[in-house]
Amino acid sequence: MDSYSTAALLNRTDTDVLAIHCGDHRFQAAFQDFLNQGLKLAGNYDLIVIPGGPQSLTAVEYLPKFSWASRRWFRFFVENHELHRLILIQHQDCAWYKSLPLHLHASAEPRQRQEQDLARVTRTLKEDFPELKVELYYAGWDAAGRVIIETIAPLTRM
């Protein structure tokens, strides 16, 4: 195939939103539906997709080069696109979290570990970007396999 012409047009509207989530294939359609329909962003947001999603922004001793790169990409978007809203999405059964050493967290329970990281990220990013509105979400599934995305209240502890 030499080329493919999409039906989509270039979005020429500025955005002030960045979303960060995991690249797990099981959730991609649900994440896009949530961002576009649930939050009514209609494709008008910047996006970082990386294993573990928001965990990449934590400043922990584990894989510091990953953290440095993620924070650099984040800062690029915030400064170059004048972002004011950050959407962080974690999800159930995240393989990245299964691979992390347990000593990095105060809990062995995966969701608690993810929420601790969301709190840590929110707190540290607010220090550098106090005007940034941070929204936290958690995606899981019900017995029928439907993806449910719920709001996570900001935590003040680690």
Q: What is the pLDDT of residue 66?
A: 83
Check if CATH label 3.40.1050.10 holds for domain 17-152: yes
pLDDT at 154: 72
d(CA 32, CA 42): 9
pLDDT digits (tens, 9 = 90+) for 14-27: 999 999 999 999 99
Cα–Cα–Cα angle for 12, 15, 16, rounded to 5 degrees: 165
pLDDT of residue 99: 83
* SS3 letters across the chain: CCCCCCCCCCCCCCCCEEEEECCCHHHHHHHHHHHHHHCCCCCCCEEEECCCHHHHHCCCCCCHHHHHHHHHHHHHHHHHHCCCEEEEEEECCCHHHHHCCHHHCCCCCHHHHHHHHHHHHHHHHHHHCCCCEEEEEEEEECCCCCEEEEEECCCCCC
Could you state, in order of their start, the residue ranges of all structural domains in the chain? 17-152
Q: How far apart are CA 45 and CA 103, in angstroms?
A: 34
Give the pLDDT confidence score for residue 37 in this predicted structure.
Answer: 98
Encode pLDDT of 25-72 as tens digits: 999 999 999 999 999 999 999 999 999 999 989 866 666 788 889 999
Mean pLDDT, the chain, whole residue set: 90
